Structure 1
Amino acid sequence: MLDATTPPDAPVLFFDSGVGGLTILGPAKALMSHIPVVYAADSAGFPYGTKPDSEIAARVPALLGRLVERYRPRIAVIACNTAATIALSHVRAALDIPVVGTVPAIKPAAIASRTRVIGVLGTDATVRQPYVDRLTAEHGADCTVLRHGSAALVAYVEARLRGAPADPSVPADALAGLLDQPGGDRMDMVVLACTHFPLVQDELEAAAPRPITFLDGAAGIARRIAYLNGDAPWPQTAPEGIAVFTRVDAEVEKLAPALARFGLTQIRAL
């Protein structure tokens, strides 16, 4: 845990391949209203879910190393399930600050499920990870755990936040990837194992043929940040947030209104 010697203006760094990490940032800001924020998106490497694991394992620690050197954060948050399930241990080994990873909320889903059938909706890379196998074995051994990866839903969310046209059938198609599997008719919990997906949870709920509970781990991540911060002071007033992109282009500029809703009023290039 941090202590009172931490500079008040030392930010918390949130890292994702795109804008999905905003769903982790939102609850963190709600819990810690004066939190200074640097939000980093690897726009040059987006999307992560279709890339080889080896590329993610090398790319993420290198980028976070550069970001930590430039912005001197107090805590780093990997606000991306794909990056965390592949590269969390590598990042922790490379950095000398606390690192929080975002991983699929299989444990609370297993605790809450009545039918013992759980869906995990993420990227292709996340749902195939041994990390997810371990979470399933540890917390959902008595459950049927269905998995489906949807790169199309990730792209859909990014397009929606840019104000670009997006096929409205994409959320329903992504959910059908779970419902159409054997046992899908009994599924009562869906773990949103990509931080992009809570941004369209209402559309997923609308596409469900019956009441289904959708879960993510954002609230737990916020509590973890607060715990690790310990006695470290926050600024007296909430500073303007910084959004950093590995490539700034016209598509990134279109995200400015969405970023501003999360207090990210400055856009910079890494």
Structure 2
Amino acid sequence: MSDNRPILFFDSGVGGLSVLAPTRLLLPNAPIVYAADNGGFPYGTKSEAEIAARVPALLGRLVERYHPRLVVIACNTASTIALGAVRAALDLPVVGTVPAIKPAAAQSSARAIGVLGTNATVRQPYVDDLSARFAADCLVLRHGSARLVELAEARLRGEATDPADYATVMAGLLDQPGGDRIDTIVLACTHFPLVEAELAAASPRPLSFVHGGDGIARRIAFLTEGQQWPANPAPGIALFTAPFDVPPGLTAGLRDYGLDEIHFL
């Protein structure tokens, strides 16, 4: 029998689309609900206590509404702070998103990597632990940027963005002591792969960028292996936690990711 239960993706905004895209390649018939917490956006400037309280409560409501087979917290900030609480609260598989420090360290020939994330993510002890476990022999520099999240949101809406903004973000990382050694940068916010090309263009030298989207997609495929998928899945749903007038550019951007319906919580 066909199983119409969706995969539920959750992020503060549209960044989780960088995880949805590789998942669709592996599971093209999977029904999708993509939830963007625009009512709480942005997460990167909020306190740990605010995120720890908000994310499990919201996901509980979303699970009751859509009855997913699996939840993906497609947000580094929410995952590094609230993943444990969400897993404890929900009786279904929950996949988190954590900074891709391990693969970045594995490929860095200079043994110097940068971590670009939100302010909330880059200060987390979780990042300290990943660095100690997988990059102990590397210089690991971090930079938090709320502006880059806004740029990624604008980029998805089809709006023009200023190359100087990307150059400023890159300078915040590369101009730190030792930043001239960096050869690999972890995009530790799911928004940031959406503007990877712009970051590369703003870089003063060729750099490698690493993020976890493909690995998360493989994990989702593994956890749902052997499950049934509908032959003709329903249109993908983009859900927002607060009502607003959806601009045409955003509607078009969401459709590019197979999200043809827009709902509000």
Letter in 1 for 2:217: A
Task: Tell me the CA shift for residue 253 of structure 1.
Answer: 5.8
Map 1:158-237 onto structure 2 (within 5 A): 158-237=153-232
Q: Determine if contact 2:4/2:233 at 8 Å carries over to the other structure.
A: no
Structure 2 residue runs of 5 or longer lacking an equivalent are none
Letter in 2 for 1:104: P
Query: 1:118 aligns to what SS in structure 2?
Result: strand
Instruction: Summarize deviations over 1:87-135 as a string: whole Å, max 9, x none.
Output: 0001000100000001100000011111110000000000000110110
Separation in 2, partners of 1:101, 1:219 = 13
Letter in 2 for 1:264: L
Letter in 2 for 1:120: V
Separation in 2, partners of 1:110, 1:260 = 35
Task: Tell me the CA shift for residue 163 of structure 1.
Answer: 3.3
Q: Which residue of 1 aligns with 2:22?
A: 27
Letter in 2 for 1:53: E
Task: Tell me the CA shift for residue 254 of structure 1.
Answer: 4.3
Query: 1:247 aligns to what SS in structure 2?
Result: coil
Separation in 2, partners of 1:262, 1:246 = 19
Query: 1:93 aligns to what SS in structure 2?
Result: helix
Query: 1:169 aligns to what SS in structure 2?
Result: helix
Amino-acid identity (%): 63
Separation in 2, partners of 1:238, 1:95 = 25
Separation in 2, partners of 1:130, 1:229 = 31
Query: 2:163 aligns to what SS in structure 1?
Result: coil
For the pair 1:43 / 2:38, whether they are aligned, the reply is: yes
Query: 1:51 aligns to what SS in structure 2?
Result: coil
Map 1:113-152 onto structure 2 (within 5 A): 113-152=108-147
Query: 1:77 aligns to what SS in structure 2?
Result: strand
Question: In 2 relative to 1, CA 43–252 (structure 1 residues): closer, same or farther, beyond 3 Å?
Answer: farther
Separation in 1, partners of 2:143, 2:240 = 28
Instruction: Summarize deviations over 1:62-82 as a string: whole Å, max 9, x none.
Output: 000000000000000000000
For the pair 1:259 / 2:215, whether they are aligned, the reply is: no
Q: TM-score, normalised by structure 1?
A: 0.95
Letter in 1 for 2:158: G
Q: Over aligned residue pairs, what C-alpha RMSD do you find?
A: 1.3
Instruction: Summarize deviations over 1:161-211 as a string: whole Å, max 9, x none.
Output: 223453331111111111101111010000000001111101111111111
Query: 1:255 aligns to what SS in structure 2?
Result: helix
Separation in 2, partners of 1:258, 1:124 = 26
Q: Determine if contact 1:33/1:238 at 8 Å carries over to the other structure.
A: no
Query: 1:242 aligns to what SS in structure 2?
Result: strand
Separation in 2, partners of 1:92, 1:252 = 34
Instruction: Summarize deviations over 1:149-169 as a string: whole Å, max 9, x none.
Output: 000110111122223453331
Question: In 2 relative to 1, CA 246–253 (structure 1 residues): closer, same or farther, beyond 3 Å?
Answer: farther
Which of the numbers 218, 241, 252 marks the counterpart of 2:236? 241
Q: TM-score, normalised by structure 2?
A: 0.97
Task: Tell me the CA shift for residue 255 of structure 1.
Answer: 1.2
